[in-house]
Structure 1
Amino acid sequence: MQDEKYLEEYVLVFPTPLLDGIGKFQGVSFEVDKFLEVILNPKNHSFLKRKDAETNPAFKQLIPYALLHCGPEIFVYRRGKLLAEKRLLGNYSLGIGGHISVTDPGLFGSTYEDGLKREINEEVFIETPYTQKVAALLNDDTNEVGKVHFGIVHSLSLDQPLVKPKEKSINETKFATIDELQKDIDKFENWSKICIEHMARIIQ
Structure 2
Amino acid sequence: MSKSSRYGGEKVLVVKRALFDELGAFNGFEPDSGRYFHTLLSAENNFFLDRDDAEEDPSHKQLIPYCIFTHKGKILHYTRGGSGGEARLHAKGSIGVGGHVNLSDVDAEDGHLGEATYNAGVDREIREELAFDGDFTHKVIGLINDDTNDVGKVHLGIVHLVEFTADSPNVKANEDSIANLAFHDPADLAGDDFPLETWSQLCIEARDQWLAN
Shared fold (TM-score, shorter chain, > 0.5): yes
Q: Does residue 55 of structure 1 match 2:56?
A: yes
Aligned CA distance change for structure 1 residues 125 and 6 (closer, same or farther; 3 Å):
farther
Match of 1:155 in 2: 161
How does 1:1-204 map onto structure 2 within 5 Å? 6-103=7-104, 104-106=106-108, 107-110=114-117, 112-159=118-165, 160=167, 161-184=169-192, 187-204=195-212
Shift of 1:186: 6.1
Shift of 1:117: 2.1
Q: How many angstroms apart in 1 are the aligned matches of 2:158 and 2:194?
A: 22
Shift of 1:60: 0.3
Q: How many angstroms apart in 2 are the aligned matches of 1:85 and 1:185?
A: 24
- SS state at 1:200 partner: helix
Q: How many angstroms apart in 1 are the aligned matches of 2:86 and 2:193?
A: 21
Alignment check: 8 A CA contact 1:99 1:115 kept: no
Alignment check: 8 A CA contact 1:13 1:61 kept: yes
Shift of 1:73: 0.4
Aligned CA distance change for structure 1 residues 141 and 7 (closer, same or farther; 3 Å):
farther
Q: Which amino acid aligns with 1:189?
A: E
| Mean CA deviation greater in 149-158 or 194-203 | 194-203
Q: Which deviations, in whole Å up to 9, do the C-alpha atoms of 1:139-186 show, x marking residues without a partner?
A: 110111000000111101112353111101111110001111011376
Q: Which deviations, in whole Å up to 9, do the C-alpha atoms of 1:63-106 show, x marking residues without a partner?
A: 00011001220000000111111000000111111111111124
User: How many residues of Structure 1 are paired with residues of Structure 2 in the alignment?
Assistant: 202
TM-score by length of 2: 0.89
Alignment check: 8 A CA contact 1:105 1:114 kept: no
For structure 2, which runs of at least 5 residues remain unmatched after alignment?
109-113
Q: How many angstroms apart in 2 are the aligned matches of 1:195 and 1:7?
A: 31
Alignment check: 8 A CA contact 1:93 1:188 kept: yes
Alignment check: 8 A CA contact 1:7 1:49 kept: no
Identity %: 38
- SS state at 2:83 partner: coil
Q: How many angstroms apart in 2 are the aligned matches of 1:185 and 1:27?
A: 22
- SS state at 2:150 partner: coil
For structure 1, which runs of at least 5 residues remain unmatched after alignment?
none
Q: Pairwise CA RMSD of aligned residues?
A: 1.9
Alignment check: 8 A CA contact 1:10 1:47 kept: yes
Aligned CA distance change for structure 1 residues 46 and 190 (closer, same or farther; 3 Å):
same
| Mean CA deviation greater in 117-126 or 7-16 | 117-126
| Mean CA deviation greater in 77-86 or 125-134 | 125-134
Shift of 1:201: 2.3
Q: Which amino acid aligns with 1:169?
A: S
